[in-house]
Chains A and B, each alone.
Chain A
Amino acid sequence: MATKKRERLDVIRDILQTIRQNREIKPTRLLYASNLSPQMFKEYINELISKKFIKFDIDEKEKKTFSLTKKGQDFLMEYKVIENFIENFGL
C-alpha cells in the first residue's frame, strides 16, 4: 500500500521533534532521521535556520550540531493548533 506523502508542515515538525528529543544532534544523524534526500534536507535546514527555528553550532573541537531555539519550541507547541485549524477548515 502506498503511504501518503508527507506534507511540508509534517516534515518541519519531524525535524524539529528529532532535534528536541536529542537536544543537540549532528547533521548526518539528523539527515538519516529526517528521511529526506540530501538536497531536500539542505533546503529545509536552510529554511529552518533562516526562520530562526533551529541554530547551527560548531564547537572548539569542530563538532557540528543543530539545536532548537525558543522560536522552534514555540512552533512545536503551536503545531497542533495549526494542524487542527487546517483540518477543521479543510484548507
Chain B
Amino acid sequence: MGLYSLIIENKWVLELLYALAVSLICAVIVIKTDKFFRLSLHQGIRYFRNAFFFYGVAFIVRYIFGILSDLGFSSVYVVQAIFEYFLIMAGFFLLYSLVWRKFESSKEEYFSSLLNAKIAVFHLMALIIAVLDEAWHTYYFMFASQIIIFFYASIVSFANLRKNRNKHQFPKFYFVAMLLGLIAWTLNLLAPLYFNWNSGLLINVGIINVVFFLFFLYVVIKVTKIK
C-alpha cells in the first residue's frame, strides 16, 4: 500500500491530527507573543499574534467543515465561508505585522487590534472574498488573495533579510517561511485548475503547510531563548 493511499484511507484521523497539530503550534506562538505584546505594547507583535490566533481558529473550523461536509449537512457552506474568513484574516494580519509602520504612527494606539478603523478594512475584504467564493462555489478568490498577500510578504521579508543579514540569524528563516506559504497557496490554486483536486498534490500542500507553521514555531522558540 502506497503512502498516499494509506493517508487517503485514514483521511479523517489524519485531518484531525493535522488540525490539532497546526492549532497547537498556533496556540504556542500566540501565548509566547501575547506575553511580549503585553510587556512592550508593540503593534507589530500584536498583529503577528493576531495572525496566528486566526490561523489556529481557521484550522479548527476547517476540520469541522470537513466532518459536516462528509455527513452531508445542508448548511455546510456557511462553515466554509467562516473558515475562509478566518484564514484570509490571518493572512492579512501576517502581512500587516510587517508593514504596519507605513500605515500607523507610533503614537497611534487602538484599544482593540481585532476591530478598529484600519482593521475594519481587512474584515470587510475578508468577508467579501468569502462571500464571493460562496456565491460561485469555489475557492479561487481566497487562493488569489493569499497568493497576492504572500507574494508581497515575501518581498518585504526579503528586504528585511538583506537589511539584517549580518546582524541577525533568523530573517532568512522568515523569508523561507513566506516562500513556503507562497508555494503552498500557488499549489492550492493549481490543484483545481489543472490537477482535478489530485489527492497526492493536496497531501503535499498539507505537508508544506505543517512545515510553514513549524518554521514559525522554531524561530519564535529560538528567538525567545536569546538573552
B residues within 8 A CB of A89?
44, 48, 97-98, 170-171, 174, 219, 223
Contact A85–B171 (Cβ < 8 Å): no
B residues within 8 A CB of A8?
41-42, 106
Q: Which of B124-132, B138-146, B161-169 contacts A (4 or more CB under 8 A)?
A: B161-169
Contact B36–A88 (Cβ < 8 Å): no
Across the interface, name the chain B residue whose C-beta is closest to A47: B41
Across the interface, name the chain A residue whose C-beta is closest to B33: A85
Contact A81–B227 (Cβ < 8 Å): yes
> Could you tell me the distance in whole angstroms from the C-beta of A91 to the nearest C-beta in chain B?
3
Chain A residues touching B, majority SS: helix
Bound complex: CA A33 to CA B160 (Å): 33
The B45-90 residues at the A interface (CB cut-off 8 A) are: 45, 47-48
Across the interface, name the chain A residue whose C-beta is closest to B219: A88
Contact A86–B106 (Cβ < 8 Å): no
Contact B168–A85 (Cβ < 8 Å): no
Chain B residues touching A, majority SS: helix
> Could you tell me the distance in whole angstroms from the C-beta of B34 to the nearest C-beta in chain A?
12
Say yes or no for A29: interface residue by CB 8 A criterion.
no
Say yes or no for A7: interface residue by CB 8 A criterion.
yes
Bound complex: CA A89 to CA B157 (Å): 8
Say yes or no for A80: interface residue by CB 8 A criterion.
yes
Say yes or no for A35: interface residue by CB 8 A criterion.
no
The A40-91 residues at the B interface (CB cut-off 8 A) are: 75, 77-78, 80-82, 84-91
> Could you tell me the distance in whole angstroms from the C-beta of A34 to the nearest C-beta in chain B?
16
Contact A88–B170 (Cβ < 8 Å): yes
Across the interface, name the chain B residue whose C-beta is closest to A75: B39
Which one of A82, A85, A86, A87 has the greatest number of beta carbons of chain B within 10 Å? A85
A residues within 8 A CB of B220?
85
B residues within 8 A CB of A82?
36, 39-40, 42, 45
The 7 A-B residue pairs whose C-beta atoms are closest, nearest first, are: A91-B44, A90-B160, A88-B170, A88-B168, A82-B40, A88-B223, A85-B223
